[in-house]
């Protein structure tokens, strides 16, 4: 029982947040209106949105490969991205991110901690872009003025975090010496941590190469531009008079919604953030939820198909990788 409550402290907050979001949705939304909105959806725009969503994943593979400094083939990186997203859909704690680092370390010369450090950079950049996108959307929406402060705050924190990572990358020897000095009382921690930090700092090296990092920013900008188009197409399928600014605001709000603790696959929080943003713009709760549910379901299907293909191509299984990750965690 004590072990159960110890582990519950990790997963229970996410469960409660997702359940609260689902309860709020069920309370405020008329299910008959929701069904009607789904029936009236323009499937031409939905089909286009699915195609654009698939392109988004291919570009995301290029983003991560650039962060890995092209030390693995694009196809291996792309398959690993698909595997990671499938893991995120089924397991808590964003296990897919750790899974990505673990899997790419087995099929390339990139070490586990090196790969993990590039994922940290990717996540920091994503949050910085989401803050910028939300600010852009908020600039058109007087009603969402409160979100502007949040976007500035989170964007500032993410830029500060990126600056810290850059300084660590530029001063690896100093940071390693400080860690060695502070951990002298714990030889095991010093030995294990020293090995991890060495690999982790190596993965941050892309931040010190201005040419490579500008390339990463270019690909990331393209990736987020595709995401705006993807959101616009999903919204347009349900709102014939939709504006581009709706997609910008919805994407920014949803990105932040996905960042908070939740059930695997951002169940509940994705719908709450996306539908909440659209409801703020239109006042139509049921239609907004229909757009959010359809978008999320499409994401599940795309990640499922590509993820299963990636696992089968490489002779892996979802549960097999999960068990390997648990063993790796226990060893650490």
From 67, 204, 218, 201, select the one nearest 129 (Cα to Cα).
218
Helix/strand/coil (H/E/C) assignment for every residue in 148-199: HHHHHHHHHHHHHHHHHHHHHHHCHHHHHHHHHHHCCCCHHHHHHHHHHHHH
Please state, as a whole number, how many other Cβ atoms lie within 10 Å of the Cβ of residue 148. Answer: 15
Q: Is residue 19 part of a domain?
A: no
- 141 vs 105, which has greater pLDDT? 105
Task: Give the model's pLDDT for residue 212.
Answer: 85
- 277 vs 47, which has greater pLDDT? 47
Tally of domains in the chain = 1
Confidence of residue 53 (pLDDT cuts 50, 70, 90): very high
Q: Is residue 43 part of a domain?
A: no
Spatial distance between the Cα atoms of 177 and 171, rounded to a whole number of angstroms? 10
Task: Give the model's pLDDT for residue 149.
Answer: 63
pLDDT digits (tens, 9 = 90+) for 273-299: 898 889 988 889 899 999 999 999 999
Please state, as a whole number, how many other Cβ atoms lie within 10 Å of the Cβ of residue 58. Answer: 15
Task: Give the model's pLDDT for residue 111.
Answer: 85
Q: Is residue 30 part of a domain?
A: no
Q: Is residue 220 part of a domain?
A: yes
Task: Give the model's pLDDT for residue 180.
Answer: 72
**What's the rounded mean pLDDT across residues 62-73?**
92
Task: Give the model's pLDDT for residue 41.
Answer: 93
Q: Is residue 9 part of a domain?
A: no
pLDDT digits (tens, 9 = 90+) for 141-188: 645 445 556 556 666 766 777 777 777 777 777 777 777 777 667 666
pLDDT at 77 over 70: yes
Spatial distance between the Cα atoms of 290 and 41, rounded to a whole number of angstroms? 9
**What's the rounded mean pLDDT across residues 101-111?**
89
> By residue range, what is the domain housing residue 132?
56-331
- The residues near 114 (Cβ < 8 Å, ≥ 6 apart) are 68, 105, 199, 200, 202, 203
Q: Is residue 34 part of a domain?
A: no
Q: Is residue 134 part of a domain?
A: yes
The CA-atom distances, in angstroms, between 305 and each of 81, 85, 197, 294, 299 are: 13, 11, 36, 16, 10
Give this prediction's pTM.
0.81
Q: Is residue 4 part of a domain?
A: no
Spatial distance between the Cα atoms of 96 and 122, rounded to a whole number of angstroms? 14
**Backbone φ, ψ for residue 267 (5° rounding):** -60, 125
């Amino acid at each position: 029982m004590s072990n159960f409550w110890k582990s519950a402290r990790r997963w229970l907050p996410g469960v409660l947040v997702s359940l609260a979001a689902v309860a709020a949705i069920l309370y405020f939304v008329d299910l008959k209106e929701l069904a009607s909105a789904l029936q009236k959806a323009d499937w031409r725009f939905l089909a286009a949105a699915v195609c654009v969503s698939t392109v988004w994943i291919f570009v995301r593979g290029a983003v991560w490969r650039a962060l890995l400094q092209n030390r693995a083939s694009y196809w291996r990186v792309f398959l690993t991205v698909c595997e990671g997203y499938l893991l995120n859909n089924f397991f808590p704690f964003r296990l897919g991110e750790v899974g990505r680092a673990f899997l790419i370390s087995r099929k390339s010369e990139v070490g586990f901690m090196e790969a993990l450090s590039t994922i940290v950079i990717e996540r920091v950049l994503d949050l910085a872009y989401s803050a910028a996108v939300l600010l852009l959307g908020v600039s058109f929406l007087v009603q969402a003025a409160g979100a502007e402060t949040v976007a500035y705050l989170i964007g500032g924190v993410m830029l500060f975090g990126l600056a810290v990572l850059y300084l660590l990358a530029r001063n690896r020897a100093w940071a390693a010496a400080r860690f060695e000095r502070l951990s002298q009382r714990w030889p095991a921690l010093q030995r294990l941590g020293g090995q991890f930090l060495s690999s982790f700092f190596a993965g941050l090296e892309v931040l010190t190469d201005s040419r490579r990092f500008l390339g990463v920013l270019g690909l990331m900008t393209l990736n987020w531009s595709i995401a705006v188009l993807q959101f616009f197409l999903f919204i347009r399928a349900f709102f014939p008079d939709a504006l581009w600014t709706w997609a910008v605001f919805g994407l920014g709000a949803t990105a932040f919604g996905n960042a908070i603790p939740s059930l695997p696959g951002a169940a509940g929080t994705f719908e709450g953030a996306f539908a909440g943003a659209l409801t703020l713009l239109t006042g139509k709760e049921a239609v907004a939820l229909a757009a959010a549910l359809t978008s999320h379901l499409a994401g599940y299907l795309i990640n499922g198909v590509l993820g299963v293909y990636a696992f089968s191509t490489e002779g892996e299984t979802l549960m097999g990788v999960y068990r390997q990750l648990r063993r790796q965690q226990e060893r650490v």
